[in-house]
């Protein structure tokens, strides 16, 4: 938790930006896995964490923007709860740490909110993504759960996004810690992999690193020899020389901030010729993208530059043909690069995605595309100093997509389907790093771990000790 001044200043800004009515921020509660008392690891709501800093379940925050009154909503633990979970600081002392003066029992919050609602005042809430918070809000506001969406406040969303998008120095310090741990996860995977292992042998070791450092995963580990499946969480394959491992994982530190990186490396000591060719194209695309990062540049344009660089490389080896710019404008590159170049990162690995990608990654006058490929670009807007984001180009050879588009003759002027047939068993490659936008460019977060194919091969052969 940061000092209370941080939270007071954040809420003060929020209050001024929203300007009228009552703001309600919901904390999360414990979530059951397979029966009520068997819980998933607790994860606090990120906006609640950002404005109140308290990392405990069953709390909420209410702010009257006009009177300035603030409340932490929550109940003292019963003796029954203390027996199982131990004592907990009083709600008043938690509120004090967050710089909030008042507290209210959960049973009293409904009266507070209904009074405001009945006198015609606006109630501002963020879009609830957990059903239990939807039900709680419905009960407190005496409406049906399916009416909750009508209270979701665009003004509140925009105010929260405006503030959380620009990371302060103390936030960057936390993100840096998360990325350093993430570096360690990737070096571990890259060093320990041996033929004959199962993907789960490596995934297990990678999982251990943030947990033993007092953190958590920022999302379930992707570790697979089938990297063409973008979010593949299956870890049951045995790996052989000739396979590549795609590892996409990140740590979350105790303060809640995330890291998110990807490396792809050969199971043997080196890439095959074919793998190296495509890997080097992805790295080239990555480097070109990173060069282009600076305030004022649209991330959509960086995405298109990354795509063009991929197409140029694929044209050199004969998988594509024609003019690279025209191919990208037509969308032909999405045979290989079906997703977006990156996303915001902070307290969430896809930062603020619960608030809506349009609000986080785009603006009122710049709408997110609905086209295949671009519709998965979570961030498109102009970059600003203090943004933290990922850059993650890739080449994914998806046999099902080849079959479908080939039968339709889609992009036939740009794609060499005869050669593509021979790549159907290739798999996928992604590399990913995390950056903060500075005054004139971007800084890599964490340490530079091997990226170029020669450096990756050196690690695999045990020649580069890090």
Residue 130, phi-psi category: left (phi > 0), alpha (psi -120 to 50), beta (remainder): beta
Q: Which stretch binds Mn ion (CB under 5 A): 66-74, 75-83, 92-100, 252-260?
A: 252-260
Q: Is 428 helix (H, G, I), strand (E, B) or coil?
A: strand
What secondary structure does DSSP assign to 337-380, as a single string?
Answer: --S-S--B-SSSSSTTGGG-HHHHH-BTTBPPP-STTGGG-S--
260 binds Mn ion (CB under 5 A): yes
Closest separation between CB of residue 189 and Mn ion, Å?
Answer: 16
| Closest to Mn ion by CB, 6 or 390 | 390
- Residue corresponding to tokens 């710089």: 99
Q: Give the range of 1-9, 18-26, 259-267, 450-458 binding Mn ion by CB under 5 A.
A: 259-267
> Closer CB to Mn ion, residue 219 or residue 234?
219
Q: Does 390 bind Mn ion (CB under 5 A)?
A: yes
Kindly state the smallest distance separating residue 262's Cβ from Mn ion, in Å.
7
**103 by DSSP, 3-state: which?**
strand
Selection from 74, 27, 64, 69 nearest residue 47 by Cα? 27
| Minimum CB–partner distance for residue 343 and Mn ion (Å) | 6
Maximum pairwise Cα distance, the chain:
73
**Shortest distance in whole angstroms from residue 355 CB to Mn ion:** 18
Q: Shortest approach of Mn ion to residue 261 CB, angstroms?
A: 8
Nearer to Mn ion, 2 or 219 (CB): 219
How would you classify the pairing of strands 388-391 and 433-437? antiparallel
In this structure, the strands spanning 22-26 and 123-125 are parallel
User: Is residue 264 close enough to count as binding Mn ion by CB under 5 A?
Assistant: no
Q: Between 184 and 350, name the residue whose CB sits nearer to Mn ion.
A: 350
Which range binds Mn ion by CB under 5 A, 213-221, 324-332, 386-394, 436-444? 386-394
List 70's β-bridge partners, or say none.
63
- Whether the CA torsion 130, 133, 134, 135 is positive or negative: it is positive
Does residue 23 contact residue 124 with C-beta atoms inside 8 Å?
yes
Least separation in angstroms between CB 271 and Mn ion: 23
Place of tokens 């020389």: 241
Question: Would the CA dihedral through 321, 326, 328, 334 be positive or negative?
Answer: negative
**Listed ranges 62-70, 101-109, 142-150, 390-398: which one lies at the site for Mn ion (CB under 5 A):** 390-398
Q: How far is the CB of 342 from Mn ion (least distance, A)?
A: 7
- CA atoms of 77 and 90, how far apart (whole Å): 8
Task: Work out how close the CB of 263 gets to Mn ion at its nearest, in angstroms, rounded to a whole number.
Answer: 12
Rg (alpha carbons) of the chain, rounded to whole number: 24
Other beta carbons less than 10 A from residue 75's beta carbon: 14
- Regarding 433 and contact with Mn ion (CB under 5 A), the answer is no
Exposed, middle or buried: residue 172 (CB in 10 Å: 0-12, 13-18, 19+)? middle
Pairwise CA distance, residues 350 & 63, whole Å: 27
Q: Which residue, 259 or 450, has its beta carbon nearer to Mn ion?
A: 259
Q: Which range touches Mn ion (CB under 5 A), out of 137-145, 287-295, 373-381, 389-397?
A: 389-397
Size of the site for Mn ion (CB under 5 A): 2
**Distance in Å, CB of 165 to Mn ion, minimum:** 17
Minimum distance from CB of 391 to Mn ion (Å)?
9
Q: Which is nearer to Mn ion, 31 or 226 (CB)?
A: 226
Nearest distance, CB of residue 392 and Mn ion, angstroms = 5
- Paired with 63 in beta bridges are 23, 70
Q: Which of residues 68-87 bind Mn ion (CB under 5 A)?
A: none
Contact (Cβ atoms closer than 8 angstroms) between residue 256 and residue 55:
yes
Residue 228 contacts Mn ion per CB under 5 A: no
Q: Which is nearer to Mn ion, 43 or 276 (CB)?
A: 43
Considering the complex, state which of residue 218 and residue 275 has its C-beta at the smaller distance from Mn ion: 218
**Is 153 or 285 the residue whose CB approaches Mn ion more closely?**
285
Q: Which two tokens stand for residue 433?
A: 């790093």
Residue closer to Mn ion (CB basis): 60 or 431: 431
| Distance, CA of 67 to CA of 26 (rounded, Å) | 20
Which residues would be at the binding site for Mn ion (CB under 5 A)? Answer: 260, 390
């Amino acid at each position: 938790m940061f000092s209370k001044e941080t939270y007071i200043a954040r809420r003060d800004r929020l209050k001024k930006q929203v300007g009228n009515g009552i703001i309600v921020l919901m904390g999360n509660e414990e979530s059951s896995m397979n029966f009520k008392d068997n819980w998933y690891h607790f994860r606090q709501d990120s906006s609640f964490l950002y404005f109140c800093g308290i990392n405990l379940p069953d709390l909420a925050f209410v702010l009257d923007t006009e009177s300035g009154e603030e409340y932490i909503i929550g109940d003292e633990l019963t003796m029954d709860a203390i027996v199982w979970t131990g004592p907990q600081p009083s709600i008043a002392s938690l509120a004090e740490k967050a710089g909030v003066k008042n507290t209210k029992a959960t049973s009293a919050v409904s009266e507070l909110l209904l009074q405001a609602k009945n006198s015609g005042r606006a109630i501002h809430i963020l879009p609830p993504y957990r059903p239990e918070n939807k039900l709680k809000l419905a009960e407190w506001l005496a409406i049906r759960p399916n009416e909750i969406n009508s209270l979701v406040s665009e003004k509140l969303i925009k105010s929260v996004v405006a503030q959380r998008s620009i990371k302060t120095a103390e936030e960057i310090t936390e993100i840096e810690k998360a990325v350093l741990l993430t570096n360690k996860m990737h070096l571990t995977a890259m060093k320990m992999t041996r033929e004959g292992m199962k993907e789960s042998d490596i995934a297990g070791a990678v999982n251990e690193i943030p947990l033993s450092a007092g953190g958590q995963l920022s999302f379930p580990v992707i570790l697979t020899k089938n990297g063409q499946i973008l979010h593949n969480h299956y870890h049951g394959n045995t790996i052989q020389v000739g396979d590549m491992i795609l590892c996409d994982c990140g740590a979350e530190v105790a303060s809640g901030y995330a890291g998110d990186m990807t490396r792809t490396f050969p199971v043997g000591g080196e890439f095959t010729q074919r793998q190296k060719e495509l890997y080097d194209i992805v790295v080239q695309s990555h480097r070109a993208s990173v060069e282009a990062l600076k305030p004022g540049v649209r991330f959509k344009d960086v995405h298109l530059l990354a795509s063009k660089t991929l197409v140029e490389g694929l044209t050199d080896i004969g998988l594509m043909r024609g003019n690279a710019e025209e191919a990208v404008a037509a969308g032909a590159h999405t045979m290989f690069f079906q997703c977006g170049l990156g996303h915001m990162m902070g307290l969430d690995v896809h930062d603020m995605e619960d608030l809506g990608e349009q609000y986080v990654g785009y603006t009122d006058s710049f709408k997110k595309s609905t086209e295949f490929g671009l519709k998965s670009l979570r961030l498109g807007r102009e970059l600003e100093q203090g943004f933290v984001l990922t850059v993650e180009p890739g080449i994914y050879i998806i046999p099902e997509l080849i079959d479908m588009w080939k039968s339709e003759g889609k992009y036939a002027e740009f794609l060499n389907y005869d050669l593509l047939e021979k790549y159907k068993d290739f798999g996928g490659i992604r590399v990913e790093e995390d950056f903060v936008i500075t005054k004139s460019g971007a800084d890599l977060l964490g340490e530079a771990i091997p990226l170029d194919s020669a450096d990756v091969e050196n690690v695999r052969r045990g020649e580069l000790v890090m």
